[in-house]
Amino acid sequence: MSSFRVTKYDPANRDSNGHYLVDDWTSVSDIGNGFSTGLLSVEEYLRVESTYVATIQQLMTSVNVKSVQVEELERYDTLGHLPKELQLSSGQDAGALSAPMRLAVPDVGRAIRAVLRETAWCKLRGESGFYVHFGYDFYMYVGGDLVVGKISLPEGMFAEQMESPYE
């Protein structure tokens, strides 16, 4: 079993203590703010969010995990803090989740989007020890039968071998 921190943060931009050195956005609430990487627009946020969804779908497929179970679900009343463009779909994603529901590969994005948009939080657990945990600042932890050096991720996503602090 292997465990990884999978994020949009390039490990080449970390110091020797693991601190990320680039002024980059870390939350859906950063939409509209400027960073060294540029202004975070709704479109850019959605592009990165979709990359997170694609990453989990790709990893599930690569280890033959057909579905994950939603565990430890928490819901938050934060829809009003989201940009108008995200409110309706965010409410639908969070509202459609329940524990211990199972989500197939095409449907797992519902949970990932709800967590990344901070309208819900949960853990996802699949067959063969596969799991996905979410932390603050767009940190995602993935574990299971993933082979070091053979993890194929979408462009802009990075995997660092690390145990989940949520296990």
For residue 53, give its domain range: 2-161
CA-derived radius of gyration, the chain: 15
Whether 23 maps to a domain, the answer reads yes
Residues paired with residue 131 on neighbouring β-strands, in sequence order = 125, 143
In a domain, 51, yes or no: yes
Amino acid at 58: Q
> Domain for residue 167, yes or no?
no
Q: What count of residues does the chain have?
A: 167
Domain assignment present for 166:
no
Calculated CA dihedral for residues 131, 135, 140, 143, nearest 10 degrees: -30
pLDDT at 53: 98
pLDDT value of residue 128: 87
**Distance, CA of 112 to CA of 159 (rounded, Å):** 17
Per-residue pLDDT at 138 exceeds 90: yes
Residue with tokens 């967590």: 115
pLDDT at residue 41 tops 90 = yes
The Cα 84–Cα 87 span in angstroms is 5
Q: Tell me whether residue 31 is in a domain.
A: yes
Domain count, the chain: 1
Looking at the chain, the whole-number percentage of residues with pLDDT higher than 70 is: 98
| Contact assessment for residue 50 and residue 58, using Cβ atoms and an 8 Å cutoff | no
Predicted pLDDT of residue 152? 80
